Structure 1
Amino acid sequence: MELFEDSLQYLISNGIPDVFGDETDWIPNITEEVASLPYTPTCNSPEDMLDRRLQLLKEILISEETYLNELETLLMPLKALRASAGTSQPVLSIEQVQTVFYQLPELLDIHTEFHRNLKAKLQFYLDLEPGLPLQLSHENLDMTVGDLFIKFVSQLGVYRGFIDNYENAVDIVKKCTQSDPRFRTLAQSMKFTKGSDNSRAMYTFEALLYKPLDRVTKTTLVLHDLLKHTPADHHDSAVLQEALRVSSSFLSGVNEGSQCKTSVTLSRGERRQLVRDGFVVEVCDGGRSLRHLFLYTDLLLCVKLKCGAMGRQPYYRFCWYMPIAGLKMNWAAETEASADLQLKISNMRVKVFHLRQTFQQLMKEKKDSVCRAADRCRRKLEACESWLVTHKPSFILELHSHSSKSHTIHFPSFYELDEWREAINTCKAENVETVPPDLLSLTNSCVKLRMTQQLPLCCLQPDNEKNSMCGSVAVIVHSACGLQQPASVYLCVEVDGYEIFDRRAQTCLSSYSLMPQWDQELELKVDGAQTIRLLCVSQSEEKILGRAIIQLNPVDTLKKWKKMKVSLGSIEVMLSIKYSPHLLEPPSSAPLQQKPVFCVLIEDVARQEHVLVPHIVRSCVDEVERRGMEEEGIYRISGASNEIQTLKQAFNTNYWEAMSKVRSADVNVVSGTLKLYLRELPEPLIPSEYFQRLSKAMDLSDTNLRATTMLSELQSFPDVNRNTLLFLLHHLKRVALKEEMNKMSLSNLATVFGPTLMRPPVVSLDQCALSVDISQEVEVQVHVIYLYLQIPNLPEALTTQPLDTEEDS
Structure 2
Amino acid sequence: MLRLQSFQPVLRGEDLRAPMDIYQEAVRYLESHHVPVVVEAEPDVLEEDVFQEEAVSCFLSPLQTESIDFPDTPTLCSPEEMLERRLVVLKGILESEEVYLRELEALLMPMKALRASAGTSQPVLSSRQVQTVFYQVPELRDMHQSFYSGLKDRLSAYCQTHPSPGEEREMSHPGFELIVGDLFLKMVNQIGLYGGFIGNYEEAVEIVRKCTQSDPRFRTLAESMMSNNGADKARTKYTFEALLYKPLDRVTKTTLVLRDLLKTTPVEHKDYVALQETLRLSRSFLSGVNESSQRKREVTLSHGLRRQLMRDGFVVDVSEGDRNLRHLFLYTDLLLCTRFKHATRGKQDQYRFCWYLPLAGLKLRWVADQERSCDTNLRLHTIRTKMYLLRQQLQQQAKGYRGLHLAARSRKKLEQMELMLLTHSPHYRLELHSPSDKSHTLLFSSLYELEEWREAIYKLTTDNIETVPPDLLTLTSACVKLRMTQQPPLQSSNAVEDKEALCGTLSVAIHSACSLQQPTCVYVCVEVDGYEFYNKQAQTHSSVHSLNPHWDQELCFQVDGAQNLRVLCVGQSDGQDEAVLGKTTLKLESKSLIERWRRRTLQLGQVEVTLSLKYNPHPLEPPSSAAQEQPVFCVPIETVAQQEGVLVPHVVRCCVEEVERRGMAEVGIYRISGTTSEISMLKAAFNSNLREAVTRLRSAEVNAVSGVLKLYFRELPEPLIPTELFQSLARTLDIQDMDSRLVSMLSLLQSCPDANRHTFLYLIRHLQRISERQDINKMSLLNLATVFGPSLLRPPVAGVGHDGPAVDISQEVVVQVQVVFSYLQCNNLPEAQISVPYDTDPEDATTHI
**TM-score where L is the length of structure 2:** 0.62
1:512 pairs with one of 533, 536, 545:
545
Contact 2:300 2:306 in 1 (8 A): no
2:606 pairs with one of 567, 570, 585:
570
Contact 2:641 2:647 in 1 (8 A): yes
1:411 pairs with one of 419, 422, 444:
444
Name the residue aligned to 1:173: none
1:523 partnered with 2:563: no
Deviation at 1:478, TM superposition (A): 0.6
Name the residue aligned to 1:537: 570
1:366 pairs with one of 399, 402, 413:
399
Identity of aligned residues (%): 56
Name the residue aligned to 2:619: 583
Contact 1:502 1:524 in 2 (8 A): yes
Deviation at 1:673, TM superposition (A): 1.4
SS at match of 1:445: helix
SS at match of 1:271: coil
Name the residue aligned to 1:205: none
Instruction: Call closer, same or farther: CA 1:784–1:546 in 2, change over 3 Å.
Output: same
Contact 2:730 2:815 in 1 (8 A): yes
Name the residue aligned to 2:597: 561
Q: Match of 2:540, as an amino acid?
A: T
Where in structure 2 are the equivalents of 1:646-725 lying within 5 Å? 646-725=681-760
Name the residue aligned to 1:596: 631
User: In structure 1, what is the Cα distance between the partners aligned to 2:534 and 2:436?
Assistant: 41
Where in structure 2 are the equivalents of 1:299-698 lying within 5 Å? 299-362=334-397, 365-540=398-573, 541=576, 542-588=578-624, 590-698=625-733
Contact 2:539 2:691 in 1 (8 A): no
User: In structure 1, what is the Cα distance between the partners aligned to 2:776 and 2:800?
Assistant: 48
SS at match of 1:523: strand
Q: Any gaps of 5 or more consecutive residues in structure 1? A: 1-263
Q: Match of 2:749, as an amino acid?
A: L
User: In structure 1, what is the Cα distance between the partners aligned to 2:441 and 2:680?
Assistant: 37
Instruction: Call closer, same or farther: CA 1:385–1:514 in 2, change over 3 Å.
Output: same
Deviation at 1:549, TM superposition (A): 0.8
Contact 1:337 1:393 in 2 (8 A): no
Where in structure 2 are the equivalents of 1:146-165 lying within 5 Å? none
SS at match of 1:396: strand
SS at match of 1:442: helix
SS at match of 1:707: helix
Q: Match of 2:394, as an amino acid?
A: F
2:805 pairs with one of 770, 789, 795:
770
Deviation at 1:439, TM superposition (A): 0.7
Contact 2:632 2:687 in 1 (8 A): yes
Deviation at 1:666, TM superposition (A): 1.6
Q: Match of 1:370, as an amino acid?
A: G
User: In structure 1, what is the Cα distance between the partners aligned to 2:446 and 2:804?
Assistant: 61
Deviates more, 1:447-456 or 1:537-546: 537-546
The number of equivalent residue pairs is 543
User: In structure 2, what is the Cα distance between the partners aligned to 1:281 and 1:534?
Assistant: 22
Deviation per residue, 1:677-708 (Å, 9 max, x gap): 11111111111111112112332234333222
SS at match of 1:556: helix
Task: Calculate the aligned-residue CA RMSD, in Å.
Answer: 1.7
Q: Match of 2:502, as an amino acid?
A: M
1:739 partnered with 2:752: no
Contact 1:274 1:449 in 2 (8 A): yes
Deviation at 1:566, TM superposition (A): 0.4
User: In structure 2, what is the Cα distance between the partners aligned to 1:559 and 1:778?
Assistant: 48
1:760 partnered with 2:795: yes
User: In structure 2, what is the Cα distance between the partners aligned to 1:783 and 1:347?
Assistant: 57
Deviation at 1:594, TM superposition (A): 3.0
Deviation at 1:438, TM superposition (A): 0.7
Contact 1:324 1:434 in 2 (8 A): no
User: In structure 1, what is the Cα distance between the partners aligned to 2:529 and 2:401?
Assistant: 32
Deviation at 1:409, TM superposition (A): 1.1
Q: Match of 1:560, as an amino acid?
A: R
User: In structure 1, what is the Cα distance between the partners aligned to 2:344 and 2:381?
Assistant: 35
Deviation per residue, 1:163-218 (Å, 9 max, x gap): xxxxxxxxxxxxxxxxxxxxxxxxxxxxxxxxxxxxxxxxxxxxxxxxxxxxxxxx
User: In structure 1, what is the Cα distance between the partners aligned to 2:792 and 2:298?
Assistant: 74
Deviates more, 1:701-710 or 1:748-757: 701-710
2:311 pairs with one of 276, 280, 293:
276
Contact 2:584 2:603 in 1 (8 A): yes
SS at match of 1:651: helix
1:788 pairs with one of 809, 814, 823:
823
Contact 2:367 2:428 in 1 (8 A): yes
Q: Match of 1:672, as an amino acid?
A: G
Q: Match of 2:741, as an amino acid?
A: R
Q: Match of 2:420, as an amino acid?
A: W
Q: Match of 2:442, as an amino acid?
A: I
User: In structure 2, what is the Cα distance between the partners aligned to 1:425 and 1:765?
Assistant: 68
Contact 2:682 2:697 in 1 (8 A): yes
SS at match of 1:792: coil
Deviation per residue, 1:252-311 (Å, 9 max, x gap): xxxxxxxxxxxx941567401211111001122432111010111110000111011203
User: In structure 1, what is the Cα distance between the partners aligned to 2:758 and 2:426?
Assistant: 37
Instruction: Call closer, same or farther: CA 1:465–1:766 in 2, change over 3 Å.
Output: closer
Deviates more, 1:760-769 or 1:558-567: 760-769
User: In structure 2, what is the Cα distance between the partners aligned to 1:617 and 1:575?
Assistant: 22
User: In structure 2, what is the Cα distance between the partners aligned to 1:534 and 1:636?
Assistant: 42
Q: Match of 1:720, as an amino acid?
A: A
Deviates more, 1:766-775 or 1:448-457: 766-775
Instruction: Call closer, same or farther: CA 1:270–1:803 in 2, change over 3 Å.
Output: closer
SS at match of 1:499: coil
Contact 1:623 1:663 in 2 (8 A): yes
Contact 2:426 2:446 in 1 (8 A): no
SS at match of 1:471: strand
Deviation at 1:563, TM superposition (A): 0.5
Deviation per residue, 1:67-94 (Å, 9 max, x gap): xxxxxxxxxxxxxxxxxxxxxxxxxxxx
Deviation at 1:432, TM superposition (A): 4.7
Deviates more, 1:758-767 or 1:302-311: 758-767
Contact 1:300 1:324 in 2 (8 A): yes
User: In structure 2, what is the Cα distance between the partners aligned to 1:766 and 1:287?
Assistant: 63
User: In structure 2, what is the Cα distance between the partners aligned to 1:546 and 1:630?
Assistant: 35
Q: Any gaps of 5 or more consecutive residues in structure 2? A: 1-296
Contact 1:486 1:512 in 2 (8 A): yes
Q: Match of 2:356, as an amino acid?
A: Y
User: In structure 2, what is the Cα distance between the partners aligned to 1:523 and 1:661?
Assistant: 24
SS at match of 2:646: coil
Contact 1:349 1:499 in 2 (8 A): yes
Where in structure 2 are the equivalents of 1:88-99 lying within 5 Å? none
Q: Match of 1:678, as an amino acid?
A: F
**TM-score where L is the length of structure 1:** 0.65
Q: Match of 2:641, as an amino acid?
A: A
Deviation per residue, 1:558-587 (Å, 9 max, x gap): 111010110111110111011111110001
Deviation per residue, 1:74-115 (Å, 9 max, x gap): xxxxxxxxxxxxxxxxxxxxxxxxxxxxxxxxxxxxxxxxxx
